[in-house]
């Protein structure tokens, strides 16, 4: 029995394990199929929507949706997902995306954004997390940890096992809208993908620098603990973005 599980596991790892992030080309270990990842994201998205109040400001919702659509339109990888862009009416300085293409902005953070290019900055960044399948990568890391620990079947118990891992990775079991921080590596990668896409979609990438500088200075104030905890805005991040902008062809 154990042998059989091992054989299927090796086959599973072989077929599902190798992936490359878009734009950066970084190789990834991903043990979860895109379909499963999308299904988990969708079910979580429905949970969040059932507990949230979407904005009644139709102009704002349409503006955010249009920016999202313009950005996914320039990405080949984005075509495999069904995208939705939501604006939740809540004075929270945060935005997040779920696997499979569900992107959420809070009205709180939108108030801080001076123009469409700054909305496109965070939009591109969140879309970057989805396209690079960072959620699936984190779940895979968790699964690999479980494998190393004790029982193979824990990780292969689908989907119940994955739902638990999803909640663990996203922190959604305890608190909706508070997504556990991505690793620095994932944040940097999403910045690069986001700036790349916003530029291709016709937005000004220099506004990404302006936006993150604004977030960085907000750090010292009382504002935006949620967003800063998941999206640390520091000088390294801003320098990385500036360097990347220099490589973009005008």
Query: Min. distance of Cβ 158 from Zn ion in angstroms?
Result: 27
Q: Residue 17 or residue 181: which is nearer to Zn ion going by CB?
A: 181
Torsion of CA 227, 133, 205, 114, to 10 degrees: -30
Minimum CB distance to Zn ion, residue 246 (Å) = 22
Q: In what order do the strands lie in the sheet with 84-88?
A: 84-88, 102-106, 95-98
Cα Rg, the chain, nearest whole Å = 18
Q: Which is nearer to Zn ion, 45 or 190 (CB)?
A: 190
Nearest approach in angstroms of CB 118 to Zn ion is 15
178 by DSSP, 3-state: which?
coil
Smallest separation (angstroms) from Zn ion to the CB of 230: 6
Q: Contact positions toward Zn ion, by CB under 5 A? A: 190
Kindly tell me which of 38 and 94 has the beta carbon lying closer to Zn ion: 94
CB of 62 to Zn ion, least distance (A): 24
206 burial (CB, 10 Å; 0-12 / 13-18 / 19+) is: middle
65 CB-near residues (< 8 Å, 6+ apart): 85
Q: Which residues pair with 19 in a beta bridge?
A: 28
Decide whether 70 or 186 has the Cβ nearer to Zn ion.
186
């Amino acid at each position: 029995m154990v042998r059989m599980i091992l054989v299927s596991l090796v086959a599973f790892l072989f077929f599902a394990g190798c992936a490359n992030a878009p734009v950066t080309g970084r190789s990834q270990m991903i043990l979860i199929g895109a379909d499963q990842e999308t299904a988990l994201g969708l079910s979580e998205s429905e949970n969040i929507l059932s507990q949230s109040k979407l904005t009644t400001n139709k102009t704002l919702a349409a503006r955010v949706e249009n920016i999202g659509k313009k950005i996914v339109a320039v990405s080949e990888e984005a075509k495999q997902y069904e995208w939705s862009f939501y604006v939740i009416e809540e004075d929270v300085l945060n935005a997040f995306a779920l696997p499979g293409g569900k992107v959420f902005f809070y009205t709180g953070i939108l108030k801080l954004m001076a123009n469409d290019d700054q909305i496109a900055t965070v939009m591109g960044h969140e879309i970057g997390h989805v396209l690079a399948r960072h959620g699936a990568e984190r779940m895979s890391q968790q699964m690999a940890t479980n494998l190393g620990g004790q029982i193979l079947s824990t990780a292969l118990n689908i989907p119940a096992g994955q739902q638990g891992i999803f909640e663990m990775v996203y922190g959604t079991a305890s608190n909706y809208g508070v997504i556990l921080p991505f690793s620095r590596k994932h944040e940097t990668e999403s910045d690069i993908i986001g700036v790349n896409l916003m530029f291709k979609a016709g937005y000004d990438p220099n506004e990404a620098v302006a936006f993150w500088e604004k977030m960085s200075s907000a750090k010292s104030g009382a504002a935006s603990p949620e967003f800063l905890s998941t999206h640390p805005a520091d000088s390294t991040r801003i320098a990385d973005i500036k360097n990347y902008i220099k490589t973009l062809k005008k």
